[in-house]
């Protein structure tokens, strides 16, 4: 069996691992938030989910949409749309040998911006709080993409 400790002793890769694990875990908590609002507000998308609240027509009234639930779902989808590119581009960037402090700055800004984005979306805070958080995360990912395409282009 091969020793992989080399990769995991690389500091940039270790930092990427920590920040990615944190932001993916945060994203997973959005599922819990959706489930929480669905249960406390009795708002469901599937008939089988509200079967415990009554029979037949009585249960069907819980098949509805709710502003609060839809808001969490939009925040979750926005996370997916932005964390997937960070995951892919960030991984390749980490393997491309960037400067440690530059890399950590990118990871910290992204993770901070996405956590602030969630707070701004769920509170909700007035704009442009959410828009600024979005653009910081967006800019960080493009900055890493730019470095990759500039130094490693191979088509």
What minimum distance in Å lies between the beta carbon of 45 and its own copies?
Answer: 6
Query: According to the binding rule CB under 8 A, does residue 56 interact with its own copies?
Result: no
Among 55, 56, 81, 101, which residue interacts with its own copies (rule: CB under 8 A)? 81
What minimum distance in Å lies between the beta carbon of 7 and its own copies?
Answer: 6
- The number of angstroms, rounded, from the C-alpha of 110 to the middle of its chain's C-alpha atoms is 10
Q: Report how far residue 99's alpha carbon sits from residue 136's, in angstroms, rounded to the nearest whole number.
A: 20
Q: Give the 3-state DSSP-derived string for 55-124, with helices as H, strands as E and coil as C.
A: CCHHHHCCECCCHHHHHHHHHHHHHHHHHHHHHHHHHHHHHCCCCHHHHHHHHHHHHHHHHHHHHHHHCC
Among 40, 46, 57, 99, which residue interacts with its own copies (rule: CB under 8 A)? 46
Query: According to the binding rule CB under 8 A, does residue 54 interact with its own copies?
Result: no
For residues 154 and 99, the answer to whether their CB atoms sit within 8 Å is: no
Closest of 77, 69, 85, 74 to residue 20, by C-alpha: 85
Among 59, 71, 136, 143, which residue interacts with its own copies (rule: CB under 8 A)? 71
Residue 44, helix vs strand vs coil: strand
What minimum distance in Å lies between the beta carbon of 127 and its own copies?
Answer: 5
Residues forming contacts to its own copies in the complex (CB under 8 A) are 1-11, 13-15, 17-22, 24-25, 27-28, 30-31, 45-49, 51-52, 71, 74, 76-77, 80-85, 87-89, 91-92, 95-97, 108, 121, 124-127, 130, 134, 138, 141-142, 145, 148-149, 152-155
């Amino acid at each position: 069996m091969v020793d992989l400790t080399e990769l995991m002793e690389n500091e940039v890769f270790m930092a990427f691992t920590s920040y990615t694990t944190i932001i993916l875990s945060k994203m997973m908590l959005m599922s819990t938030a959706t489930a929480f609002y669905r249960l406390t507000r009795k708002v469901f998308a599937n008939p089988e989910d509200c079967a415990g609240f009554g029979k037949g027509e009585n249960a069907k009234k819980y098949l509805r949409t709710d502003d609060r639930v839809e808001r969490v779902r939009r925040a979750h989808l926005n996370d997916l749309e932005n964390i997937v590119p960070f995951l892919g581009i960030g991984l390749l960037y980490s393997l491309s040998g960037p400067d440690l402090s530059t890399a950590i700055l990118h990871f910290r800004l992204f993770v901070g911006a996405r956590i602030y984005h969630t707070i701004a979306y769920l509170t909700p805070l007035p704009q442009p709080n959410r828009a600024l958080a979005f653009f910081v995360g967006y800019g960080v990912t493009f900055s890493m993409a730019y470095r990759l395409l500039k130094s490693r282009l191979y088509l």
